[in-house]
Amino acid sequence: MSVPASADDATDDAAYLAQLGARVRRLRARRGMSRRILAAASGISERYLAQLETGKGNASILVLKAVATAMHVALDDLVDERAEQSVEYLLLRERLRAADDDELRRLAEGLAGTRTGAAPRPAHIALIGLRGAGKSTLGAALAKRLGMPFVELVQEIERAAGMAVSEIFARGGQTAYRRFERAALAASLERFERAVIACGGSLVSEPRTFDYLLASCCTVWLRAQPREHMERVIAQGDYRPMADNRHAMADLRRILDERASLYARADYTIDTSANGVEQALTALLELPAVRELAIAS
């Protein structure tokens, strides 16, 4: 004999579905995926995804599995009942999933406060931020001033893969791209003893790669206002952000909002909105870690 659902149960279910939808939106924004891209990658219609994201879709476990796989996140990232999932919580959980026994032991020691000793100062400077923040322009200028190689990580990914980023995504999706991204970063750090590295805007949404970057480099978040990001990309002749997407600006704002707490993990932040190239370059050169590298060179 079945027991009728109470009004409280129905309210709880509605609240849970609303939280689930909000979580899908946040993860999609953090990954930098439009709803159209997620629909194509998951095989779930845009209409159904819209219902899911607004808390109106009572999704089956297989639908959620397809959505999670397309966004390259674990299924429990979607269904975890924690109302608020901090960046630190998500990153730690991701690292625990991937850790072997030795790393789990080291992590446990770190949590217990038993590890001692300071890490050596990084000899690589990594610039992070959304497209249009000035990573390529400022990175090249900074490398020239410091007499260091300049590495465009996206170009290294394409060189290693032997194909354009768009083709990597078309053939292997996010999983393939993230694999090439991690490999290209490791190869660049090994190849150059000292370098300035401009990273793709979405690298921060891959926990293991971002942790590796933070541990290996002095990181600087080049921050700008959403309108600045869009205008700079279009000024470079790239109209893709606006192509067939009347919600492009809203999507960009959402991506920036969702990634802000990730970008904020960088060692330094420089706002490039109100600064010209020379002003921003001066700000970079005045950062303590950059001054140390300049002196060492």
Q: What pLDDT digit, counting tens, does each position of 209-264 carry?
A: 998 999 999 999 998 887 776 776 666 655 444 445 567 778 878 888 888 889 99
The residue length of the chain stands at 297
Whether 111 is in a domain gets the answer: no
Distance CA 175, CA 205 (A): 12
Q: What is the CATH number of the domain that holds 64?
A: 1.10.260.40
pLDDT surpasses 60 at 114: no
Residues 177 and 284 in one domain: yes
> 229-253: buried (b, 16+ CB within 10 Å) or exposed (e) per residue?
bbebbeeeeeeebeeeeeeeeebbb
pTM score? 0.70
Residues 61 and 139 in one domain: no
pLDDT at residue number 111: 67
By DSSP bridging, strand 195-198 and strand 268-271 are unpaired
Quote the number of domains for the chain.
2
Residue listed under structure tokens 């904020």: 264
Strand partners, 127: 198, 220
Least confident span in 48-57, 91-100, 190-199? 91-100
Residues 61 and 128 in one domain: no
Q: What is the CATH number of the domain that holds 240?
A: 3.40.50.300
Least confident span in 75-89, 104-118, 155-169, 195-209? 104-118
Residues 151 and 268 in one domain: yes
Where do runs of H (alpha helix) occur along the chain?
Answer: 7-31, 35-42, 46-53, 61-70, 75-79, 87-98, 101-111, 135-146, 153-161, 165-191, 207-216, 226-235, 248-263, 277-285, 288-296
Strand partners, 199: none
Whether 114 is in a domain gets the answer: no
Task: Domain of residue 254: give its range.
Answer: 124-296
Whether 288 is in a domain gets the answer: yes
Whether 234 is in a domain gets the answer: yes
Where do runs of H (alpha helix) occur along 162-200?
Answer: 165-191
Whether 244 is in a domain gets the answer: yes
Q: Are 178 and 72 in contact (CB under 8 A)?
A: yes
